[in-house]
Amino acid sequence: MSNTENEELRWIEAARRGDRNAFSKLVQAYQLPVYNLTYRMLGNPQEAEDAAQEAFLRAYKRLNTYQPGRKFSNWILSIASHHCIDLLRRRRFVWLSVEDNPAVSWLASDDEQPDDAAVRSERAEEVRSMLQHLAPEYRAPLILRYWHDLSYKEIAEVLELSEPAVKTRLHRARLKLAALLEEQSTAASRKAKPASSPAPQPGGRLSTLVRSAGLAA
């Protein structure tokens, strides 16, 4: 066991005895991954802040249930991800128009795109907005994989799933993300070429409505 892990265990033991300073050190150590997870899950800074705070408070209340053999980071991420999934499930229907999102020109072409900072930033923003269209069950493993660099086993531990379930969810998440970006790209192309577009149908514009939860089906 490394010195860091030993020190962490000491903080946990002290926090269990009611030492707030020790718990504060744990918060400082894990605030970034926990906040990042809640932010990527919820897509809103204020909601992410509240959810991260709630995750730490729940961790504090449940410190006695923490098993020292488990990685504390995975334990706290598990609490945060379950809280976010609960929050997202409680949200009412969210209808989003794919056409309302920014164009995804970089996917429309198979050619190599310039890789400067502005383009990267634009792509990142587009993919971030697309993440919000994924069902929470698919979003969580994707975030844990890409941002937290967790293995399939660790993701399974955090989300309390089996490893095959993690494989399946990651696969479906990528499928849906790619399909969604493809759809968005097609919609953007139609907007860019109004002359060649079909006339709008009575009753309004094309409404390729994507319901967040509906993507899970």
Partner 1 sequence: MVEHMDVLDEHEIFSESMSLALDGMLADAEQAAFDQHLAACEPCRTRWLKWQRISDVLWVEPFAGPAPGFALRVDDLVQREQRRKERILGGVVLVGGTVSIWMVAALSVAITVLVGLAIAPGARWQIAEYLGFGSQAVAVVVRSVTALRDSLLTMPGPGGLVAALCVLVALMALWVWLVFWNNSQQAVAAGENGRNVR
Closer Cβ to partner 1, 52 or 188, answer by number? 52
* Site track for partner 1 across 169-198, x = CB under 8 A: -xx--xx-xx--xx----------------
Would you state the structure tokens that stand for residue 47, as one six-digit string? 């909601």
Closer Cβ to partner 1, 88 or 173, answer by number? 173
The minimum distance between CB 179 and partner 1, in angstroms, equals 10
Tell me if 24 contacts partner 1 by CB under 8 A.
yes
Closer Cβ to partner 1, 37 or 88, answer by number? 37
Which residue type sits at 106?
W
What is the Cα–Cα distance from 91 to 39, expressed in whole angstroms?
A: 16
Q: What SS3 state is found at 210?
A: strand
Count other Cβ atoms within 10 Å, centred on residue 213. Answer: 15
Tell me if 110 contacts partner 1 by CB under 8 A.
yes
CA R_g for the chain: 21
Q: What SS3 state is found at 129?
A: helix
C-alpha pair distances (Å), 61 with each of 47, 54, 65, 76: 21, 10, 9, 12
Residues within the interface to partner 1 (CB under 8 A): 18, 20, 23-24, 27-28, 31-33, 35-36, 39-40, 45, 48-49, 52-53, 56-57, 60-61, 106-107, 110, 120, 123-124, 127-128, 142, 145-147, 152, 167, 170-171, 174-175, 177-178, 181-182
